[in-house]
Amino acid sequence: MSSELPTILSQPGAEARLCVHTITTKQLSLEECLAEFPKRGVSGLTIWRQALEGRKLAAVGRRVREAGLELVSLCRGGFFPASDAAARQRAVDDNLLSIEQAHGIGAPLIVLVCGAVPGQSLAESRKQIADGIAAVLPAAAQAGVRLAIEPLHPMYADDRSAVNTLRQAHEICDALGSPESLGIAVDAYHVWWDPELEAQIALAGQTGRLLAFHICDWLTPTCDLLNDRGLMGEGCINLREMSAWVDAAGFAGHREVEIFSNRWWAAEPRHFLEEIAASYRRLYS
Ligand code: ZN
């Protein structure tokens, strides 16, 4: 493995790859996101499912395109493990619904937060995750929607995801026969600490599994396990290095800003958007 840091080229239009998740600016309605994002150079949009409530799917997709934004993905599916079969079936049904929703709005990808059950072994949860994904893959393939397994930081291994490393995500892809509709989402917040990170990102590129790249930063101290993510540059993640690895793996898609932050959510959302765009420019220009 090379210890030399690949160079991120200063490209004009680096913002062309800037995507923001609706949850990042959750104070804004979907319509406000569509109006405000393009003004800041945002060109991609990932929609969280709660933003679809009460809206017609086809109309959402049309409005996103009319706003000049590329629909990058739908967040989120997953949460497959459960202690009883009926609950696991409900999870499968919900994932089938998310595939319909993605298809309905024209999103090519669904991010999977895979799930876990406190007290159930992680190995059993991973088996149930693989079974759940296998149950919905045919519908995803039929709909032309891909599924991306997002490994979550191990602090969430109890109840949010038994998939905590890129290696484990690859193992599930392998176990399911490496179907084309299944891949991996690399979220900097979750995997930055992994000693295998560079090699596993490269492997995701080689296997055609690298489907999404989420960015934010890790704060010290982290005051809330869920809602204390930092804006890029506020924390300790070497995003330039990780982004170079992702680029070197052949990924040319959007870099998606996904920030859950009680602190930033208390700020004026348009100001927050300005800060996102500015920190993105500092990072990639
Ligand atoms: Zn993510």
232-258 confidence digits (pLDDT tens)? 999 999 999 999 999 999 999 999 999
Distance 187 CA to ligand 1 centre (A): 5
214 CA to centre of ligand 1 in angstroms: 5
* Residue 12: per-residue pLDDT: 45
pTM of the model: 0.95
- What is the dotted CATH code of the domain comprising 14-284? 3.20.20.150
3-60: per-residue pLDDT in tens? 444 444 344 465 789 999 999 999 999 999 999 999 999 999 999 999 999 999 999 9
Nearest to 102 by CA among 38, 37, 58: 58
Give the Å distance between the CA of 6 and the centre of ligand 1: 24
Between CA 96 and CA 249 the distance in angstroms is: 30
C-alpha to C-alpha distance for 273 and 284, rounded to whole angstroms = 16
User: Inter-axis angle of helices 57-66 and 85-105, to 10 degrees?
Assistant: 40
Instruction: Report CA(225)–ligand 1 centroid distance (Å).
Output: 14
